Amino acid sequence: MLWVCMQIDLTSLPKNSKVLQRLVTDMVTGLSQRDEEIDRLQQIIKGLQRSRYGRRSEQLDADQMALSLDVDLEENAKLVIDEPDLS
C-alpha cells in the first residue's frame, strides 16, 4: 500500500466549508488506513518473533511413542526372564 504524505499550507486553507470537510475526511480516512496497516504489520512481527524466539517443546509423534513403549516392554521382559528365582 502506498502512503502519500500530503503537505498542507496552513496559511492558505480553503475558505469553503465543504472543501475543508472533504479535506478533513480524507485525512481521517488516510490515518485510519495507516493505523490498520501498522496493526497488521505489528501482528505479523509478533507472529514471526513467537515462531523464532517462543517456547519450544519437543513433540513425539505416535510412531516414536510406540517404539519407546515396545523397547520398554522388551527390556522389562528380559529382566523378568533373567532374574533368578529368589524363593
Tell me the whole-structure pTM to 2 decimals.
0.51
Mean of the per-residue pLDDT values of the chain? 77
Residue appearing with cell numbers 480553503: 14
At 85, the amino acid letter reads D
Domain ranges of the chain: 19-52
pLDDT digits (tens, 9 = 90+) for 40-78: 999 999 999 888 887 665 566 666 666 656 666 666 666
**In angstroms, rounded to a whole number, what is the distance separating the alpha carbons of residues 85 and 2?**
83
Query: Residue 30 burial by CB count (10 A; 0-12/13-18/19+): exposed, middle or buried?
Result: middle
Contact call for residues 14 and 20 (beta carbons, < 8 A): yes
